Structure 1
Amino acid sequence: MEEIKVNQQIESINKKLDVILEEIELQRRHRREMEDLKDDLLRVGKDIYDTAIVELEQVHDQVSTKEILHLGKYLLRNVSTINRSVEQLESLKDFLTDVSPLVRESIMDFMQKLDEYDKKGYFEFAKELSNVTDNIVTSFSKEDVKNLGDNIVTILNTVKNLTQPDMLHTINNALNVYKQLDIVVSKDVSIFKLMKELNTPEVKRGLGFAIQFLKNIANPETNNHMENKPLNKSIN
């Protein structure tokens, strides 16, 4: 009976020894890993240190230790600002991600519109218009442009008067009358026939209108006073 107890105790001791040996092995393995890590860190740290020495050697005349410390303190004081900046960058990234499809669609629509304009001939028209502009520029001198600028008010007033409804109506009527004229002049026109025609009311009114029109054109003061006013004078 006692022998059984002794064997059980020995077995229990062996189990505990196995656990202790496993723990020792784990500790040894952990120590080996830490030593390997330390060696790796030392090598990396040495490389970083050597690289830092070389790089700092190139800028030691421009940078001092005091400035580096000041920069470190400045960064520490503005950690919250840096965090907000990073958050804003993240928000900007999210915004660009969301807006990219819209921008892509807008670009496609723009390209389609350009293609439509090209098919309609807008670009060819612009090209020819550029040629027209070149012809205008090469056909007029600097003095011509200066004179145009000096007389632009008169030109605009003339265009304004020509585009008045009553003036356009009169011009249109004159053109219609001209198109409908069917005048046949006899070859043997005598002075007596001309004198007879001059006595007709129609010819008198026409001559009177022509004479009064020429007088008004030849008199600048009359033109200034009669601008935008109907002609009421008649010739007796």
Structure 2
Amino acid sequence: MDKDLELLHQKIDFLTEQMRETQRRQREMEELWKDLTPVLTDLFNTAAEELDEISPYFGHEDLIYLVKKMLRNIRSLTALFEQVEGAQDLLKDLVPLSKDIFDEVLGRLDALESRGYFRFMKATFSVVDDIVARYSEEDIRMLGESMVAMIDIVREVAQPDRVASLQKAVATLRDIQVDIPARRSTFGLMRQMLDPDVRRVLSIGLGIVKQVAEKLPVRSAMQNGD
């Protein structure tokens, strides 16, 4: 009998404790709702005001149409989200690579700086500024035309056969040893004219002079004749 009474008291105590816990939770929920009521009221009023501004342009039928549209294209939206996730994964992979590229670019720029490229470019800009200040556009154009003509001349001279001929001529002139007497008579000069080698050299020289004269402008040739 005593055990039954003790068990009954335990059950009553348990139920009493449960009722107290329930009342405590109820009071907490009431306090929470009391705190949230002003916030929810402000949120509802703000939403109502915002929706009232767009009410001429957006109605419940538009919302229904938008929901239906999203449901029809749910697969496309899912594929789009998957692409975004793939782009995020790609970005995660590219971040370390971009850091390596950035470090490589900084290293190259530092090497160029140490070798003086930037100082050279700065000096070049100064030269360009001086040219712009001293010369007009027409002067630069004429200079460009002259440079093109000079490049054409260099290109013509730089032909392999002509370079070889010039090298041979320079080597020949370097090896020639001519004894120039202090005095030479007219008859001595005429006697040298009988030498076939002398006549051949004179013939070559006259031929070169003739070809140059033929290619000169008429006005320049007349002035030279005067």
Give the equivalent residue in structure 2 for 1:123: 118
2: distance between equivalents of 1:183 and 1:123?
A: 54
Offset, 1:170: 0.9
Give the equivalent residue in structure 2 for 1:212: 207
Give the fraction of aligned pairs with identical amino acids, expressed as a percent: 27
Over 3 Å counting, the alpha-carbon distance change for 1:127 and 1:201 in structure 2 is farther
1: distance between equivalents of 2:131 and 2:181?
A: 47
* Number of residue pairs matched by the alignment: 213
Offset, 1:25: 2.0
2: distance between equivalents of 1:70 and 1:25?
A: 51
Indicate the larger mover: 204-213 or 41-50. Answer: 41-50
String of CA shifts for 1:190-219, please: whole Å, max 9, x gaps: 433332333222221112112222333444
- Equivalent position amino acid for 1:29 in 2: R
Indicate the larger mover: 202-211 or 29-38. Answer: 29-38
Over 3 Å counting, the alpha-carbon distance change for 1:141 and 1:22 in structure 2 is closer
TM-score when normalising by structure 2: 0.69
Q: Does 1:88 align with 2:83?
A: yes
1: distance between equivalents of 2:147 and 2:118?
A: 33
2: distance between equivalents of 1:74 and 1:150?
A: 71
- Partner residue of 1:33 out of 19, 28, 35: 28
Give the equivalent residue in structure 1 for 2:194: 199
Indicate the larger mover: 164-173 or 127-136. Answer: 127-136
Over 3 Å counting, the alpha-carbon distance change for 1:29 and 1:149 in structure 2 is same
Offset, 1:160: 4.0
Over 3 Å counting, the alpha-carbon distance change for 1:104 and 1:35 in structure 2 is same
1: distance between equivalents of 2:122 and 2:171?
A: 37
Give the equivalent residue in structure 1 for 2:37: 42
2: distance between equivalents of 1:110 and 1:151?
A: 36
Indicate the larger mover: 175-184 or 191-200. Answer: 175-184
Specify the SS of the correspondent of 2:85. Answer: helix
- RMSD of the alignment, in Å? 3.8
1: distance between equivalents of 2:129 and 2:178?
A: 44
Over 3 Å counting, the alpha-carbon distance change for 1:190 and 1:141 in structure 2 is farther
Give the equivalent residue in structure 1 for 2:54: 60
Over 3 Å counting, the alpha-carbon distance change for 1:130 and 1:200 in structure 2 is farther
2: distance between equivalents of 1:61 and 1:42?
A: 26
Contiguous gaps of at least 5 residues in structure 1: 221-236
TM-score when normalising by structure 1: 0.67
Give the equivalent residue in structure 2 for 1:229: none
* 1:1-236 pair list within 5 angstroms: 5=1, 7-56=2-51, 59-60=53-54, 63-65=57-59, 67=62, 69-130=64-125, 141-142=137-138, 145=141, 158-183=153-178, 185-219=180-214
